[in-house]
Amino acid sequence: MTAGMWTGRATWALALAAALVLGACSEKGETDIVKVGRIAFEAYFPDEPAPRTELTRAQLDQIPSAVLALSFDELPRVFIVPLARNGDYLTYMDSQRRGFVMHDGAVTGTLGIGFDLDAVKAAGNDPVFHQTPLADWPGQVNRSYQYQVRDGAGYVISLTCTYQKVARERIEIIEQFYDVVRIAETCTNSARQVTNLYWVDDETGFIWRSVQWVSPKQPQLTIEVVRPFLDG
């Protein structure tokens, strides 16, 4: 994809992901998505009445693939694994078949969460969509979010985003610790203002944790990288 094009269209990739889930399980036993769903279910809904427990790193290490943790509305974390790839776009899905398309640190599509994000148009220098060392982050980028309405027409929200360094912090993600810089991103147009947060490795620009706005009708998503996706 060239810079500035609409990217992250969710429909085909998420449909492919659902097919992979349904098709792979019977022949090879548990797929990653089935396994992560079972582990989460056993922790959150045990047979014997007991408080719900957070998954441990040891439990998540049973999943050999990349893993992201997702949370919103103060609900327990949902763990999602990649099931399809199209260039730099990874389609993740949870055990409830809710789908999320990621490009580097950015959510570019969703399915199954309501008023779903269909695509994002981002500039080539957008550091959330293109991993960039923190020293090279631009002062401002333009970004547009596209949604499908009932008649099939596209509904677009365009925003101008600026960045501010907030603090250097040490964060914990499922028993692993990272030294990062917290960045506040303020995105505005004439009708709205949203603030996204990113916890960034300043040398590489890798985003370990983020709180992202993806839809005007849904709460922000908190995304944490439990295990990064690695090529090869």
List average pLDDT for each run of 10 residues in the chain, which is 232 residues long: 53 45 44 52 45 72 85 79 87 82 94 87 95 96 89 85 97 96 97 96 98 91 92 64
What H or E segment, with its residue span, contains residue 25? helix 10-28
Q: pLDDT value at position 41?
A: 44
What's the rounded Cα separation, in Å, for the pair 127 and 133? Answer: 8
Q: pLDDT value at position 6?
A: 59
Rounded to 5 degrees, φ, ψ at 109 are -170, 150
Cβ atoms of 87 and 81 closer than 8 Å: no
Q: pLDDT value at position 169?
A: 97
| pTM: predicted TM-score of the whole model, two decimal places | 0.80
Q: pLDDT value at position 44?
A: 42
Q: pLDDT value at position 99?
A: 86
Q: Which residues are 122's β-sheet partners? A: 143
What's the rounded Cα separation, in Å, for the pair 23 and 27? Answer: 8
Q: pLDDT value at position 79?
A: 85
The single-letter code of the amino acid at 147 is Y
Q: pLDDT value at position 152?
A: 67
